[in-house]
Structures are given as structure tokens and as C-alpha cells.
Structure 1
Amino acid sequence: MTDSTKSRARGTDKRRRLTAAAAQVLHRQGVERTTIADIAKAADIPVGNVYYYFKTKDELVQAALAEHEGSLAELTTELDGLPDPLSRLKALVNAWVGRRDTAARYGCPTGTLAVELDKRADGTLDQEAGRVIRLLLDWVEHQFRALGLPDPGDLALTLVAGYQGMSLLANALRDPDIMVREGNRLIRWLDTVTAARDGS
């Protein structure tokens, strides 16, 4: 490996660490309370080096949203390996419930960021956050459509709204058990919806 190749690899690693740190710190602290120094510290990178990769905090927010999008893509790719749409939807709910402690402490990573960014008068970062949520909605809608259910878009809204609601309440009340109870309710709802389709 040449020196320039090693340098590029180190640069890619630093950028990756900064992106992951931005997603984590922004989720925990919010955009307004987070500084570039906070993100640099979490990434274990000197703060002066951050500006080589990201010129502004907004660029780090965009990187965090890209990280959330990548995490969603990884999850849905994994779920796509399950044998049928109902199993995928239930596994999605179980994945949400599996993150209940984080949700109770900080809320939904993308949802809380979308709400905070919407309060800002400048930029279009709120639309970027909305686009990531739209990717989730589209994937869920695809599962309901594959199940042959009517109004798959409405069903997707119901399921994702259920997730956002239980994340918000778990966070507001600092009670991860809300995620468990509401997750179980969503699983029962999925069974009811598909049973109605089958006429049972």
C-alpha cells in the first residue's frame, strides 16, 4: 500500500468516525446543544481536523441524516431476507422495541431530528429528515401491498405513526416499557389486519 493510499484510507476512516459520532451526539443532545467540538471529541479526532471533512455543523447534520438512512437501509435489507411480508413487519416492530432503552432516553433518532430541524427558519435539513422517514414509510407500504391489503399507504402511516408515538411517549415519560406494551399492540394489530384479509 502506497503512502497516498494509506492517507486516503485514514481520511475515509476519520470521515466515517465523524459521521457516526455526529449521528450519535446529535441524537443525544439535539442540534442546538451540540457543537462541532462535541462531535470531534466523540469521534476522537482533533477539532481542527473536523473542518477538513465538514465545513459547518449543518454539513455534520446532513452526515448524521445519511448515517440514519444507511442504518435504515441495513435494517430493511436484513428484514427483506425474511420469508414473508408479515414476518418482516413484525420483525421491524421487534427491532423498534429492541431499542426501547435508547428511545426512552433520547426518542427516535430521525423523528426527533426532524422535529428539531423543522423549528429552524433556515435551510432544508428538515426536508432531508422527512425524506429518511419517507423511505421507511415506502418500505412498510411495500410490505402491506405485498400482503394484498387494501390502502397499503394508510396502513403504513398507521404503523409508522404508532412507532413515532410510542417513541415520543417513552421518551417523554422516560419509560421503556411503553415501547414493549405498544410494540405488542402493534403486533396484535398486524395479526388482526391480516386475519381480516383472510376472512378469519
Structure 2
Amino acid sequence: MARSAVRSTDRFERKREAILDAATEILNRQGVKGLTLSVAAAAVDLSTTSVTYYFKRKDDLAAACLMRGVDALQQMLDAALEAPTPAERLHVLLELYLERVRLTTVGEAPPLPVLADIRALNQPRRGEVSKAFGKMFRRTREIFEAESLSWLSRGRRTARTHMLLEQLFWAGAWLPKYDPEDYPRIRERMYDILIGGMAAETSSWGPTPIPMTELAPRDRQEMSRETFLLAATRLINSRGYRGASVDKISAELNVTKGSFYHHNDAKDDLVVACFDRTFDVMRRVQRLAMALPGDEWTRLSSAAAALAEFQLSEHGPLLRSSALTALPEPIRLEMVQHSNRVSDRFASMISDGIAEGSLRPVDPFIAAQMLNATLNAGAELGFWVPGVSQKAAPAVFARPLLMGIFEK
């Protein structure tokens, strides 16, 4: 190849990567909904026409950002799976992922995209990225392939893989609380929680049931609003913010658009209302659990079990945190604060449990964020493990974090 052609190719690749870097930052702040060719072009001092030379459509650009993130995770997994044991593979994956986040934070590596917005893509790009994500997911599941874990069914391996990936994805929401130089210490604390769980050696799995009737609407007016918000939550979880249009929500409930706007002034208001419902359910479960007799381990495990079960009940699911990226930044920050308050209450329960000896001495803040991420991810358990029952959800999904990801 002629030297001039090589230089031209290098320039093309450098500019393409610069566009992807800028577009990924926009994607992470505003979701697919907020990423446009013109906004991406302005971020790199190009005209929109110039950007179309690299990416003809908005979805092409968004898909390229997401695919680059999936590829980065795939490379980390390839390295992690060279380790001989499941525990060592897990440690390498955490080390590589948090190091990449650290490098991004200090400006030495491009950002990783938030992968939660894949559903907001149009076809055929959604199918292409989903296929790549599925391949990466199956690669992650290989962490659990070992003779010592032969007792794990395929469904339980899949559930634990989903939980593990959610820990990586949600970490981006709470890691900014720390200085990047502390990330190695945080990695070890996350690893300790995943390996050892939160229960003390003397504590066993046996959560006290919290009846789902305690979480159901109490009067006719509340039932009407609950029906509306539940339909919207299910659509947003399954199709993303952009896919859950007002028309589709109205059709799901067999009501007119006028009825929709009677309940909510705008679509963003609806997402906020769905989040408010989610946080209200979680706080109610926490209050009910905290009133139970017994120790803090009983209360914490009972709250986790109830929320895992709620996700697959007729009243579930709760709104996935992935919807956050679609909200305007001020509203998104407010919703994150609400989520943090739920986590902080879990942290208080964990601290009390450590003090009394029913829980292991883990980092309460990190453990609470990891628990919150797990319970939120339970909304998609039925997708990843088809046929899993409501009653089985606590043992299949909540127990692995609380008792140890490689424990029976």
C-alpha cells in the first residue's frame, strides 16, 4: 500500500475513533434518544455532513459505540477465562474492568458505553448489537464452567451471570464517589462480597416470607394508577424509553391518548412516576423487613427475597435503572439520589448486622449498592431464565449475592 494511502487510512481511523469517543459520552449522558449526528459532530468540531461520511445514520453511530463496548468486554473475558479456576477468572475480570474505568476517569482511555440502551436502537442495528451482547453474555457464563460447579444448572449459571454483569454495569453509578486511586481497594471489596457473600458463618438461608398482599394497592384510585404505571413499566423495561411510545402504552391499557395525558403531562413525567413507584415498593419492603423479629441477617435476606419475588409477581416488575439514561440530567440525578437513599438504608441494615455478628464484616456501602443492583436486575430474570417461578426467584437470584456467587 502506498504511504499516502496508509496515512489516509490512519487519519480516517483516528477521526472515527474521536467521533466514537465523543458520541459515547453523549450516549452515556442522554441515551440513544439524545444522541444525534449533529450533537456528535459539534463535539468534535465537524459538520453533520462530515460525520455522515463515517456514520450515515444516528443508529449506525449509536450501534458502533455499543459494539465497541461489547468488544472491550469480550477482550476482558478472553483474558479472564485463561485463569484456571472460577474464582481467579472472576478476580481477573474485576481487575480489568475497574482498571479500564479508572483509566477512563483519569482521561487515559475512552469511555465504555452504557449498554442498557440497546433496546432503543431500531432494526437491524438492534438485532446486530443484541447478538453481539448475547455472545459476550455466554462468554461470561463460562466463568462458572468447572467440575467444582457441576451442581449448577444452566439456568442458575445464567442467573448468576446476569447478576455478575449487573455489578459491573451499575458500578459506574457509584464509583464516582471514590478517588480513582482507590479503585484497586474497591475491586477487592467487591470480590470479597461476591466470593463470600454477606452472611456470617453462623447464618443460614431461610428468609421470613413477606406477603405480596402487603405490597398491593390499597384502594380503587391507587389500583387504577398502579395498573397504568405497571403497564408503562413493563413496556419501558422490554422496549426501552423510545420503544415505549404513548400510543403503545395507551393501546396496552385500551385507553385514549387523552387518558394518558390526564395521568401524566409528558413522557418524562411517566418515567419519573414509574421510578417513584419502584422506590416506594422498595422502601415498603425495607420497612416491613425491619419490623420482623430476629437478627439483621433475617431482615436483610427477607427484604431481598421479597423484592426478588415481587419482580416475577403479578404486581411486578420494578422499573429497570436502564431507563435513567433517557431522562434529562437534572431529573436523572434526582432519581439516582432516590436510589441512593434505598441503598443507604440497606447499608444501615448491613452495618447493624456486622455489629451484632449476623453478617460478615463487608463494606456496607459497596455491599448495599451491589444488593440494590441485583434486586433491580431481577426485573429481567424471567427473560434470562425462562420458566423460573416467582417462588424460586429469591434462591435463584438473591441468594448467590448474599451467600456467595460460587456457593450452593
TM-score, length of structure 1 as denominator length: 0.68
- State how 1:26-175 maps to structure 2 within 5 Å: 26-95=27-96, 99=101, 109-115=113-119, 117=120, 122-149=122-149, 150-164=152-166, 167-168=169-170, 171=173
Tell me the number of residue pairs that the alignment of Structure 1 and Structure 2 aligns: 187
Distance 2:127 2:172 in 1: 25
Aligned partners of 1:56, 1:112: CA distance in 2, in Å? 20
* Alignment gaps of 5+ in structure 1: 103-107
- Alpha-carbon contact 2:77-2:140 (below 8 Å) kept: no
| Percent of aligned pairs with the same amino acid | 23
Secondary structure (helix, strand or coil) at the match of 2:73 reads helix
- Is the Cα contact below 8 Å between 1:85 and 1:144 reproduced in 2? yes
User: Is the Cα contact below 8 Å between 1:79 and 1:91 reproduced in 2?
Assistant: yes
Change (3 A) 1:136 1:175: farther
Question: Deviation at 1:58?
Answer: 1.0
Structure whose CA Rg is larger: 2
Return the offset for 1:26: 1.2
Q: 1:87 to 1:14 in 2, by over 3 A?
A: same
Shift of 1:10: 1.4
Q: Is residue 25–residue 39 contact of structure 1 (8 Å, CA) maintained in 2?
A: yes
Hey, what does 1:4 align to over in structure 2? Answer: 5
Under a length normalisation based on structure 2, what TM-score does the superposition of the two structures give? 0.38
**Residue 28 to residue 52, structure 1, CA distance change in 2 (3 Å):** same
Q: Which runs of 5+ in 2 are unaligned?
A: 105-111, 179-185, 198-399
Supply the AA of the counterpart residue of 1:140.
T
RMSD of aligned residue pairs (Cα, Å): 3.9
Tell me which protein shows more helix as a share of its residues: 1
Conservation of the 8 A alpha-carbon contact between 1:97 and 1:183: no
What do the CA deviations read for 1:8-44 (whole angstroms, capped 9, x no partner)?
2212222232233333321222111122132224445
Contact 1:68/1:132, CA 8 A, preserved across alignment: no
Q: For 2:32, what is the secondary structure of its paired residue?
A: coil
User: What is the alpha-carbon distance in structure 1 between the residues aligned to residue 95 and residue 13 of structure 2?
Assistant: 33
Q: Please state how far the C-alpha of 1:168 moved relative to its aligned partner.
A: 5.0
CA distance in 2, matches of 1:43, 1:74: 27
Give, as a single letter, the amino acid of the residue that structure 2 aligns with 1:40: A
